[in-house]
Amino acid sequence: MYRTRLLPSTGSLVVTVAGPGNTVVSDLEVFVDGEKRCSSSPCRVEDLAAGTHLVKVTATGYEPTADQGVKVEAGDEAVYNVRLNRGGSTGLSVKAEGRGLKLWVDGKEIGPLPQEISDISPGQHTIRIDGSERYESFEQQVTIEPNRVLSLEPKLKVKKGLATIKAGTNAQGATVLLVSGSERRPVPQLPLAVDIQMDKPYTIVATKPGFKKFEQPVTFDDGQAERTFVIDLVPEEAASAAAYAQRAAVPRAPAPARPAAPAPRSDVGQAKLNINSIPASNVILDGKPLGSTPKVGIVVSPGPHVIIFAHPEYGRKAKSVNAQAGKTSSVTARFDE
């Protein structure tokens, strides 16, 4: 008499998961053939068909494994040990220029800026920056990706700026106003720090007998609620000479030339200036910035001109020169004297 014995057609699989140094890993997922089978270690999967199965493990804070083929024998138990490597940190870094600014994430106050947040979950979040009377509130939707730190450094719009108005060249004794439409706000003394609401435009206007009117709009770059404005006044005669030089420099359409007439020289009746300083500084000629010294062969109209030398450490120096037609005059300023 013969007995028939059925052989098993399935097997089982045990997956163990650990971190570096055989540390315990929590919040994990074990996938077999693309299907989640466990959320803890060890993970035992039974009744698997004999053959090769693809195993993948993911865990928060660790690099996920690639699909790994594990062979399961019928009637046997296969063991697959997984060692996970630490992944890059997941977080949010927020910085912004400005005093008193604070950070909120998903409606929860985090604290004053700057902030480094490492316990934020991957996914969509709403951040808000507020808390300063000088800046408009900033809000943005962000996406936090696993194993990555999102860095934000927004430039907030200024709603109330702090303007420091200082007297520059020839500005002592000038009448200074902050003008916005029909509003005229006197500036009683210089220097003066004044709060400016940015809901309407303001212009600094300075006047003084014998000098050209000074006008400068009050503006603030995003993220910069404090700015210094320097009033430099140019004598009227120098301003007129500069305007004349600009008009003279504008090319005009030539009259019909006679065949025998030579081409006119463009520099007839004009003067030239060589401008230098020790050390190098920025040059303002009759109210027009020219850049850094030295400047050679600057064409100007004959007559008086005012040159202002501005150095970031040594301050400003003003020089006057009476340019003569057809000649080159040299003007030098020394800040080390």
Per-residue model confidence as pLDDT tens for the chain (337 residues): 556 556 678 999 999 999 988 889 988 999 999 999 999 999 999 999 999 999 999 988 788 899 999 999 998 999 999 999 877 678 899 998 888 899 999 999 999 999 988 878 889 999 999 999 999 999 999 999 887 889 999 999 999 999 999 999 999 999 999 999 999 999 999 999 999 999 999 999 999 999 999 999 999 999 999 999 999 999 987 555 555 455 545 555 555 555 554 544 445 578 999 999 988 888 899 888 898 899 988 999 998 988 998 888 888 888 888 989 889 999 998 887 6
The amino acid at residue 15 is V
Please provide the CATH number assigned to the domain covering 91-152: 2.60.40.1120
**Ramachandran bin of 51, using left for φ above 0, alpha for ψ from -120 to 50, beta for the remaining angles:** left
Confidence at residue 264, expressed as pLDDT on a 0 to 100 scale = 47
* Four-point Cα dihedral 164, 236, 186, 134, nearest 10: -30
Kind and range of the H or E run holding 242: helix 236-249
Cα separation, 263 vs 141, whole angstroms:
67
Dist. CA 337–CA 333, nearest whole Å: 9
What is the second-level CATH architecture of the domain 271-334?
Sandwich (2.60)
Cα–Cα distance for residue pair 63/87, rounded to 1 Å: 5
Question: Residue 266 has what pLDDT?
Answer: 47
Per CATH, 91-152 and 271-334 having the same topology is answered yes
What are the structural domain ranges in the chain?
10-83, 91-152, 161-237, 271-334
What is the model's pLDDT at position 72? 93
Fold exhibited by the domain 10-83: Immunoglobulin-like (2.60.40)
Question: 236 phi and psi, to 5 degrees?
Answer: -60, -40
For the full predicted model, state whether its pTM sits above 0.85.
no
Q: Is the dihedral of CA 93, 99, 101, 102 positive or negative?
A: positive
Topology (CATH level 3) of domain 161-237? Immunoglobulin-like (2.60.40)
Q: Which of 251, 248, 242 shows the shortest CA–CA distance to 288?
A: 242
Position 53, amino acid: H
Token match 């949010």: residue? 92
User: Residue 251: its pLDDT value, please?
Assistant: 56
